[in-house]
Structure 1
Amino acid sequence: MIKILIVEDELPMLQGLKDNLEFEGYEVDTATNGADGLDKLLTNQFNLVLLDVMMPELSGFDVCKAARAKGNKTPVIMLTAKGEEIDKVLGLEFGADDYITKPFSLRELLARVRAILRRSNIEGNNPDNQVYQIGNMLVNFSGYTATIEGREVKLSYKEFEILHYLHNHKNETVDRDDLLDAIWGTDYQPTSRTIDNFILKLRQKIEVDSNDPRIIMTVHGVGYKLVV
């Protein structure tokens, strides 16, 4: 399982990030100051660090600089309320891989997390690098590829993300609102009809008979369930 360390001293932000990342299927550890964050980073194996800049004891810049000096190459996304270019430059010079300015949407953060993990080529520890069978379709979520009997199936980015989310919660009922928040983010809310249309398109590509679905099931009044 992919392990992510969050180093953040604002407790509501820390808990919100932790809850959402765990909901996405990641294993999450936390630290509330720079010193503890650096200690955990140097004594444990993580696939990614979300690192706040302004923290007690050690700043995010100091943590990143010290970790790199020790030879730690764990990818780092820096989080900050500051937006000045000089801070971004400093973060990158100290070894950060990416930089996101508060306030940010959950959708943007998750997209950056996935991009960093793909860019870091975490092969052995990344379950998304595997090929999964969903009905007659073989899907590689990391490579954004899908085939049926060797033929490529065209899925849009949103269709991949929706299917990925459902697969992470396979055989569980997924609430429409949770699905909307995870894919579109809390800063932009399409109507529930939007998600219904995407589910219809996915069924047309996955189900033997889209009018009699056996894989992406509707749970009336709640949402959907991927049966695998």
Structure 2
Amino acid sequence: MKVLIIEDDIQLNTTVSDFLRDNGYEVTSLYDGEDGINEIDLIEYNLYIIDINIPNINGLDIVKYIRQKDLFSPIIMITASMELENIKTAFGSGCSEYIKKPFYLEELEIRINNILKKQNEAPIIRISDTINYDTEYEELKIDGEVVKLRKKERRLLTLFLLNINKTVTFEKIENYVWENEIKEQYPLRQLIFDLRKKFNTGENFIFNINGLGYRFETKI
């Protein structure tokens, strides 16, 4: 498993990196937010451990950047304070867990194992009695038959199903689905229309939330 650590405290970075390597992880350690962004553009990681307060680009912005590309890989935020606003922003941006300095290495290990266990528990999401979606393979099945989806349809449906019954904002959809492409090449409204057609059951699962975004609601 590939782990990226971004922490500007050299001693802490080295200690955590060595601990994870000793436990079989493949670790890349960085000390700067800008270097982190460059690394994320080059390599896909399975786990991120990021300090909130790092030079040049802060950890919260890095979390947002990761989630434009990757909805699944766990992100653990390291924080020196318990400021509620930072924690709310971190979870709102897509972090999976946080840990407060100072911490025991065994505590970090427990949090990592807990995240990975949850991640492996339920890759199949039931949409209705006859419709399932496999988040690992991004595969939609209706009555046991696989429904072919284009890449943007898969990304949009995955985003919705990781936020079932929650409003997903226009901005979050565009950042993740279009991956920094020019949106006008394939309007969101058209993409929603095409995805609705793929269900072909007469049921509507996708609802427009006026001025905010869309919500996917299940039937079970």
TM-score, reference length from structure 2 = 0.53
Q: Which residue of 1 aligns with 2:199?
A: 206
Contact 1:7 1:33 in 2 (8 A): no
Distance verdict in 2 for CA 1:175–1:108, change over 3 Å = closer
Q: Which residue of 1 aligns with 2:15?
A: 39
Matches within 5 A, 1:163-174: 163-174=157-168
Deviation by residue 1:28-70 (Cα, 9 ceiling, x = unmatched): xxx32343223234557xxxxxxxxxxxxxxxxxxxxxx3xx3
- The CA RMSD measured in Å over matched residues stands at 4.3
Give structure 2 stretches of 5+ with no counterpart.
46-61, 74-114
Contact 1:147 1:153 in 2 (8 A): yes
Deviation by residue 1:81-107 (Cα, 9 ceiling, x = unmatched): 8x9xxxx9xxxxxxxx9479xxx9947
Q: Which residue of 2 aligns with 1:73?
A: 25
Q: Which residue of 2 aligns with 1:7?
A: 5
Indicate yes or no: 2:216 matched with 1:226: yes
Distance verdict in 2 for CA 1:198–1:107, change over 3 Å = farther
Contact 1:166 1:174 in 2 (8 A): yes
Q: Which residue of 1 aligns with 2:111?
A: none
Q: Residue 140 of structure 1: CA displacement?
A: 0.8
SS at match of 1:191: helix
Task: State the AA in 1 paired with 2:157.
Answer: L
Deviation by residue 1:126-185 (Cα, 9 ceiling, x = unmatched): 358611112332111211222111111111221111111111221111111221012223
Q: Which residue of 1 aligns with 2:175?
A: 181
Contact 1:175 1:224 in 2 (8 A): yes
CA distance in 1, matches of 2:121, 2:198: 21
Quick one: which of 149, 155, 162 aligns to 2:156? 162
Contact 2:125 2:134 in 1 (8 A): yes
Identity of aligned residues (%): 14
SS at match of 2:183: coil
Distance verdict in 2 for CA 1:153–1:6, change over 3 Å = same
CA distance in 2, matches of 1:112, 1:219: 22
Give structure 1 stretches of 5+ with no counterpart.
9-30, 45-66, 89-96, 115-121
CA distance in 1, matches of 2:68, 2:168: 21
TM-score, reference length from structure 1 = 0.51
Q: Which residue of 2 aligns with 1:57?
A: none
Indicate yes or no: 2:64 matched with 1:110: no
Q: Which residue of 2 aligns with 1:15?
A: none
CA distance in 1, matches of 2:190, 2:66: 20
Q: Which residue of 1 aligns with 2:189?
A: 196
Q: Residue 220 of structure 1: CA displacement?
A: 1.9
CA distance in 1, matches of 2:122, 2:27: 18
SS at match of 2:202: coil
Matches within 5 A, 1:15-164: 31-42=7-18, 67=21, 70-74=22-26, 76=28, 80=35, 98=43, 106=65, 110=69, 124-127=117-120, 130-135=123-128, 136-164=130-158
